[in-house]
Amino acid sequence: MELLQHDILIIGGGGAGLRAAIAIGEENPDLSVGVVSKIYPMRSHTVSAEGGAAAVIKPNDSLEDHCYDTISGADWMADQDAVEAFVNEAPAEMIQLEHWGCPWSREPDGSVAVRPFGGMKIERTWFAADKTGFHMLHTLFQTALKYDNIVRYDEWFAVRLLLHDGRCQGVAALELRTGQIRAIAGKATIMCTGGSGRVFPFTTNAAVKTGDGMALAYRAGVPMKDMEFVQYHPTGLPGTGILITEASRGEGGIIVNKDGYRYLQDYDLGQALDVNDPQHPQKRTMELGPRDRLSQAFVQERKKGRTIEGEYGDYVHLDVRHMGEKLINKKIPFVRELCKNYVGIDPVHELIPVRPVVHYMMGGIHTDIEAATPLPGLFAAGECACVSINGANRLGSNSLTELLVFGTRAARSAVKFGAQAGEVARAELIAQAEQEQQRIRERFFRPQTGTESIAGLRVELNQTMESGAGIYRTEASLQESCEKIRELKERFGQVELADHSLTFNTELTTALELEYLLDVAEALAHSALARTESRGSHQRTDHPKRDDENFLKHSLAYRTDGDPRIEYLDVVITRWPPGERVYGSK
């Protein structure tokens, strides 16, 4: 087997991966960079982000305010040193993207336009209509093309980290076109594979977001941090889970129940003043409360029988009709396009059906502030990583900026590490890749008498995660999910493939993705079971209070031969001591 070799290896070709690749080119254009992506980079999930990216730019805003909104929105689970670094570096990253050609929407005076987003008391979300991720990813991709030192491996699926002498030295990847496992070495490796929302049945996440990088790091001994914190977005389309961006509410959309009532005014959304005051911000901007609070309010409305029954479960309505056709076409044209194509309605004239859907994993691969994991030579950035700036609840529009800031940080850390690392162990890495190829052949391509289907196991996994580890959780529901996941992992051994071809064997890739999802689900459910408090997106009805004394700590899930081992790590507090979670004032 041939060994392909680069100075730095990047797994994932989305926003974080491309920003890291560019940063390496900026740092040292003589370094060889390999970018391994299981899909063509422009199909990465970053392209589907709609609403915007947060960074301080306006004179009425401040870095301190952005820090506070992020930390309080995270229910004090964010590491404050990481948040400060993120906020401080965000404006320069966004301006750099502007210089590379990202077409930010503009105010009449020509300055960058910003819009309000949930949980932020000041308008600081940059946007490009409602196709922000699309334009950001295009900008990053076209910029990356300028660097001759970047070699892309499109449609190569990473299946194993290659380790030697206590450090990560590359990956074994399945070349989808040939069905062959190839060994790719790097003095440093950066994981940028995105989230794992497909562990749940209703999600805004693309089909490719199956926790690949998280599971690869987990199997290599790296802990997964804060996996119990799963963000539901309050406005996804029933059935498909397609996101109706928060920008639709930032521009004035309202949420109503089956009676046409703006029910959010009945719930505590974390705003600070007397909500009986008609001029209180919650009366005007209640739809821009934190995503976890809005999703929880939906569940309460459903219990009261005030939601609408539909083919894909209960839903409520998002109303943007009062915005008018001209403003809708200018500010949220993609929302109109999605509604027409996937629901058959025109939001200029009709109500949009919406329900909470899984949107983002606050947890992920444990990294430090420099994007380094505990495994030497392995770094991580983007949604697959947990640094942590998002804590128990990510603020809308922080994630796109996070791709830029920590993609850059990961690149610089990897370059520094690679300069000091010795040569890779060629023979050992090739041997490990050959072992992985043999494992896959014996497991999936030998005649078997398996009785389980990939689709069947995946449906059961989705169902147990939604019922046991959804918006509201209990010890009993989480125990049931943990037991079910344990059973599904055993039953996975009985999966048999009908397709034994090598070229673009989608049944094989789906089976490998299911293995990743089972690992992610295991870490998530056990982390949630161990956290006996309610904080942010993690709501335990049997432990309804936040418990700073015992749980102002990050969870760390380590893979074992049995159930994962859960340990804890103190949250970094710098300038903002834990307090009541409010926004709208300090």
Catalytic residues: 233, 249
Tokens matching residue 171: 């990956």
Exposure string of 185-202, with b = 16+ CB inside 10 Å and e = fewer, is: bbbbbbbbbbbbbbbbbb
Q: CB-based contacts of 168: which residues, under 8 Å, 6+ apart?
A: 161, 162, 188, 189, 220, 375, 376, 377, 378
234 and 295 in contact (C-beta within 8 Å)? yes
Nearest by Cα to 168 from 216, 106, 102? 216
In whole angstroms, give the CA distance from residue 335 to residue 327. Answer: 12
307 and 259 in contact (C-beta within 8 Å)? no
Tally Cβ neighbours within 10 Å of residue 304.
11
Q: What share of the chain is helix, strand, coil (3-state, %, to 5)?
A: 40, 20, 40
373 and 367 in contact (C-beta within 8 Å)? yes
Residue 400 CA neighbour count, 13 Å, CB half: 28
In whole angstroms, give the CA distance from residue 576 to residue 586. Answer: 11
54 and 169 in contact (C-beta within 8 Å)? no
Is the C-alpha dihedral spanning 456, 457, 460, 462 positive or negative? negative
424 backbone dihedrals φ, ψ, rounded to 5°:
-75, 155
Nearest by Cα to 558 from 230, 219, 228? 219
SS3 579: coil
Alpha helices in 52-148 (DSSP H): 63-73, 80-100, 132-144
SS3 4: strand
352 and 317 in contact (C-beta within 8 Å)? yes
Is the C-alpha dihedral spanning 147, 151, 157, 158 positive or negative? negative
3-class SS letters over 490-528: HHHHHECCCCCCCCCCHHHHHHHHHHHHHHHHHHHHHHH
Q: CB-based contacts of 356: which residues, under 8 Å, 6+ apart?
A: 202, 232, 233, 234, 236, 294, 295, 298, 299, 471
In whole angstroms, give the CA distance from residue 101 to residue 468. Answer: 45
3-class SS letters over 343-404: CCCCCCCCCEEEEEEEEEECCEEECCCCCECCCCCEEECCCCEECCCCCCCCCCCHHHHHHH
